[in-house]
Structure 1
């Protein structure tokens, strides 16, 4: 039973009830956890702040205190998760004016993050090291992620029914809840529902592997709990054996995208293949690669222009 809200209630208590009413059951569990973490921080930063005392200054101070230990993008996410509840509180008359108006988003200087990925030779060496037998194993998942660029949770959810071998297609429409209790979950976003073209060798290999498996059951799920670390540990051993840089299973997704970009595939096509919500995500993620390609383009342009004089 929900209690009646008063403007003298604590802001954190109001936010907790707002999450329960508006977010539980309406968003993915992984997103809900982010709202719940925002609640934890709100209780830490403003434990005694009442709804009626939420002003532009008090709200900005909350953001400033949060930004002291977080990067700017993380602070922006924190702001957006609070803002939804605050706008509702304004609409309901608990807060007189919108305190989020003209909020200044600060944050720590982000540490440089260089994406780990393998070059074509290193990937080829890794794949040749895999122990690909006649039954499904984690080695086959490593191969599938490397050749499709799927997310780990997407690969776990693949069923025999998702393969269209005749048209060399693999459909992505679910993820697997490996962080929770297991089971199918929606994809990260609508753009993540997609069809990925696969090569003939992968078609032949997986057509044989899945032909006797239940068509609607995930091919890689053999027990109740699956851990990302399990596959990463296997991948690490193969990287050491092949004497190549150690990367994670997510690093194989980056490797896939990087090889496509270096091969001249357009950013738009790479974004669709990866299931990114927009090309902006792809551009931000692979900025260093795009800049490297632009430098190569400049060399080509200069050589072309030199031939005109």
Structure 2
């Protein structure tokens, strides 16, 4: 039974109920966990602020206080998770005017970013250094993520039946819930359900590798005494890290292989739209934001090419 919300109720109480009604069960658990974290920060920063008292200046101060502890992008995410609930409260007449209007997003100075991806030479060295035998191992997992740009959970959920070797394609339609008790789960979004074209070498490798495996059982997650083993991304990141150190290349995570895949495609001249579809991004905007530095670099190269072309017209 829902409590009737009044304008004099606390913001934290309204947000808690709003989360329960609009978000719980409608989004993935990992995403809902971010809303729970937002609630914890509300409890810390504005525990006694009422809905009717949430003015622009109070909201701006909330954002400022949050920004003391977080970088600007994290603060922006916090703001977006709050804004939906607040606008609903405005629509319901619980808050007289939109307090989020013209908010200024601040944040701590970003930490020095680690290298997120390998260049083509480094990736070549990594793949050449993998130990790819006749049995399934995590080296094959690293190879497949590098060749497809799949998310970690998507690659864990792959089964032999997901491969269409005749058409050199791979179907992504599920993920593996490695953060909980295992088992298949939904993809991150509708756009994540997709087919990825794979090269003939990968086709030959996985056709042989999966030949005698159960068609609908995960390739990389084993059963021990009838129970799926617990998988930790830190385990595979550790394997990848050791390879990077051994080969003297930039040290990245498995997710960094996804960035590497996208970066190499963009540098090769593949369109943003094609890269977005291959990665399973909900929109090209996500791709553009994630790889803005590469896109800007390519635009600079385009300018040089344009000027060279124009000068040849004389």
Residue 278 (structure 1) shift: 2.1
Please say which of residues 2-11 and 203-212 is displaced more in the overlay: 2-11
* CA distance 1:122–1:79, change in 2 (3 Å): closer
Deviating runs (4+, > 6 A) in structure 1? none
Residue 305 (structure 1) shift: 4.2
User: SS where residue 261 of structure 2 aligns?
Assistant: helix
- Taking the aligned partners of 2:215 and 2:204, their CA distance within structure 1 comes to 17
Note if contact 2:165-2:207 (Cα within 8 Å) is conserved in structure 1. yes
Please say which of residues 208-217 and 160-169 is displaced more in the overlay: 208-217
Corresponding position of 1:163 = 163
Corresponding position of 1:144 = 144
Alignment of 1:86-101 (within 5 A): 86-101=86-101
Map Cα deviations across residues 126-163 of structure 1 (whole Å, 9 max, x no partner). 11211111111111100001111111111111111211
Corresponding position of 2:239 = 234
Corresponding position of 1:57 = 57
Please tell me the root mean square deviation across aligned C-alpha atoms, in Å: 2.2
| Aligned: 1:32 with 2:37 | no
Please say which of residues 64-73 and 35-44 is displaced more in the overlay: 64-73
Alignment of 1:168-247 (within 5 A): 168-222=168-222, 223-247=228-252
Please say which of residues 200-209 and 243-252 is displaced more in the overlay: 243-252
Note if contact 2:131-2:139 (Cα within 8 Å) is conserved in structure 1. yes
| Aligned: 1:70 with 2:70 | yes
TM-score, length-normalised on structure 1?
A: 0.91
Please say which of residues 265-274 and 60-69 is displaced more in the overlay: 60-69
Note if contact 1:115-1:254 (Cα within 8 Å) is conserved in structure 2. no
Residue 48 (structure 1) shift: 1.2
Note if contact 2:115-2:250 (Cα within 8 Å) is conserved in structure 1. no
TM-score, length-normalised on structure 2?
A: 0.90
- Taking the aligned partners of 1:92 and 1:303, their CA distance within structure 2 comes to 59
Residue 35 (structure 1) shift: 0.6
Residue 69 (structure 1) shift: 2.8
Corresponding position of 1:268 = 273
User: SS where residue 171 of structure 1 aligns?
Assistant: strand
Note if contact 2:115-2:252 (Cα within 8 Å) is conserved in structure 1. no
- Taking the aligned partners of 1:304 and 1:192, their CA distance within structure 2 comes to 39
- Taking the aligned partners of 1:118 and 1:85, their CA distance within structure 2 comes to 40
- Taking the aligned partners of 1:251 and 1:94, their CA distance within structure 2 comes to 44
* CA distance 1:91–1:212, change in 2 (3 Å): same
User: SS where residue 117 of structure 2 aligns?
Assistant: coil
Unpaired runs of 5+ residues, structure 2, are: 223-227
Please say which of residues 121-130 and 59-68 is displaced more in the overlay: 59-68
Figure out how many residues of one structure are paired with residues of the other and give that number: 309
Note if contact 2:115-2:251 (Cα within 8 Å) is conserved in structure 1. no
